[in-house]
Amino acid sequence: TETEGVTKYRLDFEQAPLPHPSLALQLEPWRQRLCALGLIGGNDPARYDGLGFGNLSHRLNPGSSDFIISGTQTGHLEKMGPEAYALVILCEPASNAIHAQGETPPSSEAMTHAAIYSAAPEAQAVIHVHSPEIWLQAESLGLAVTNPAVAYGTAEMADEFARLIRSGSLTANLISMGGHEDGIVSWGKTLDEAGELMLQLARQVGMAEPGR
């Protein structure tokens, strides 16, 4: 079994206050909703040896390749400010390298987020969660599934997402990560669109938001 949360790309990281902090604050309400469902989290010995899981991002501007993403190993945090997010300013899948800045390094899944933004120009937000309930039923739920032989956080996984998106065969902006246990990804033209897609899946497998 893979160790969760390990960054596999080469990271060129500038330690500095996060540019565009207001965008990180816009992501936070959705992150908290997903945490409440257990789709993002950490510090649970029964799940992935207590390591953090799940992340979300937002494109800086329409047409831009830059995006704000939650930081690595932040899933356990109840609330996050801009200091827990990173700005990815360049992704180079061919050399397996990412350039970013902020106070916390970007999620280990940043390469996959970058691939989605590249392959789907209309995408403005991406959400990656962990749900065994959804993942185990991916095919019956009609989800596209990446090659099980391809590991998370790699250029090969980025290629898988690009291949599926560009195939024109997707019925929704949703993909199950066949080689990444419990990994499910959604994206949308807005953050609300990406979030609602994920919530619809959660409801289909019997998960309900606390207090809603």
In contact, 10 and 99? CB cutoff 8 Å? no
Which of the four pLDDT bands, split at 50, 70 and 90, describes residue 6? low
Task: Kindly state the tokens that stand for 74.
Answer: 């932040």
Query: How many whole angstroms separate alpha carbon 112 and alpha carbon 126?
Result: 9
CA 89, chain centre distance (Å): 17
Q: pLDDT digits over 163-194, tens only?
A: 999 998 899 999 999 988 899 999 999 999 99
Q: Name the pTM for this structure.
A: 0.94
Of 89, 111, 97, nearest to 161 by C-alpha is: 111
Percent share of the chain, pLDDT over 70? 96
